[in-house]
Chains A and B, each alone.
Chain A
Amino acid sequence: MSGPSLDKVRRDIHAVVIGASAGAIAALSRLLPPLAPDCALPILAAVHVPADRPNNIPALLQTRCRVRIKEAEDKEPILPGTMYFAPPDYHLLVERDYRLSLSNEEPVNYSRPSIDVLFESAAEAYGRTLLAIVLSGANEDGAKGARAVNEAGGLVAVQSPDSADARMMPDAALAACPDARAMSLAALSELLCAYGGRVRC
């Protein structure tokens, strides 16, 4: 896959949302470490994890990454250079005033957090300044959300299904969202760094 075209790199992106499920740790561990600590973007992530125990992915990634990584708190303001994970058993949503909300409502696609819920609310708040990334996963969560991001004018990038541990989620997102582009993790990482404004990858 080729990288993003320059005109697209030049457009304003104010936030990134990431969805992942099976194969999430491997994919995130390749995607995020190149990001500079003063990255200008906030990153919001919904990753499917068990509901009844602590999620160790943020702590694990923090040992490998230079951006700040944390679990999202309710009504927390969204800051650049920070990655927020949806806590286990809660949906993560973006409010119009760019604060985060948690919700306990029913699982969507059997998932709480649900990637669709995060992507759809972020699409509402950020419109065409949102970049959505769908990574490896073994279900179809994220496909509807990716389409919503696209319809609101945002960009959608998908881990190339052949490179994903589980290709179902990337395949579903690509099928639901014809404008989405499939990219290798290396290219996705480069894209993130470019939009992050400080190209030191």
Chain B
Amino acid sequence: MTNSAEVKADEIELQLFLEAIYRRYHYDFREYSRASIKRRLLLARERMGCATFSALQERVLYDATVLPQLLDYLTVQVSDMFRDPGYFRALREQVVPHLRTYPSLKVWVAGCSSGEELYSLAILFREEGLESRTMFYATDINAGALAKAEAGIYDLQRLTLFTRNHNLAGGKGSLSDFYTAAYGAARFDKTLRRRTVFSDHSLVSDAVFAEVHLVSCRNVLIYFDRPLQDRAVGLFKAALVRKGFLGVGARESLRFNAHAETFAQVLPGERIYQKRGDV
């Protein structure tokens, strides 16, 4: 709130709206970064023709078919393959040599959205000869996004950027080896996901489900408030093997996180952390 003790009506409504979604559907957005979620819900409200959050609340409480539409506003699904190529190059050059020392590997793509990050990692692991010993977990709370991830089909127009990113990330072959193009879409090779488990999992309310060697969770934490960021990184800490790796978005850091001490930054420039061996 600003300087007055008076709480604005739409703030009260927004709080109640998030509470209603949680109580009715068990999706918990109450600890998401409020400024951004409010912006996106104002857009949803406008596009769904509701004058207030209370009106939007009534719609979603009594009509479950509204929920999937709302989830597309509540969760941000913006990603590209090999987004921030420097991240993937650093994984290839600095992290893969460590991963090679394990006989079997588990990788968790937390908040995988429509799958761009998962396919990037699967391709990188195939190029590095690690794929056959790796199991991938791709998780998200948005069922629609998970279905897109599982399909692995992207608008062909996006492939120019994906291809450039793949090259900059140190890609060994041509990205076109991994997809077939037809009807304006690129369909990624289904063998890329044969070692992937797609699953509904919430960093807000669910627990650790496996011991993993690498967690890649990019541009997810920025949508959480500070306590929720602590919870999510706490999950990663619990899931990671000793000396396991955590990759976050280019502008995310553990600097303000309660678990910062548990992790050491692998490279100064890239946001890749390694869990300490003594925790």
Contact = CB atoms under 8 A, between A and B. Distances in A.
Contacts of A102: 222, 251-252
A75 B249 CA distance: 14
Contacts, number: 73
Nearest to B33: A101
Interface in A96-118: 96, 99, 101-106, 117
Interface stretch (B34-42, B95-103, B138-146, B173-181): B34-42
Interface string A44-83: 0000000000000000000000000000011110000000
Interface residues of A, number: 28
A105 B40 contact: yes
Contact of A117 (B39, B219, B252): B39
A119 B252 CA distance: 22
A101 B76 CA distance: 14
B34 A103 contact: no
Contacts of B187: none
Given A73-B255, A76-B256, A104 B225 contact: no
A103 B33 contact: yes
B2 A101 contact: no
Interface residues of B, dominant DSSP: loop
B78 A99 contact: no
B229 interface: yes
Contact of A128 (B2, B33, B40, B229): B2
A74 to B, nearest CB: 5
B273 interface: no
Contacts of B33: 93, 95, 101, 103
8 contacts: A93-B35, A93-B39, A95-B33, A95-B34, A103-B222, A104-B249, A106-B78, A126-B2
Interface of A: 73-76, 87, 90-91, 93-96, 99, 101-106, 117, 120-121, 124-129, 152
Interface of B: 1-4, 33-36, 38-40, 76, 78, 219, 221-223, 225-226, 229, 249, 251-253, 255-256
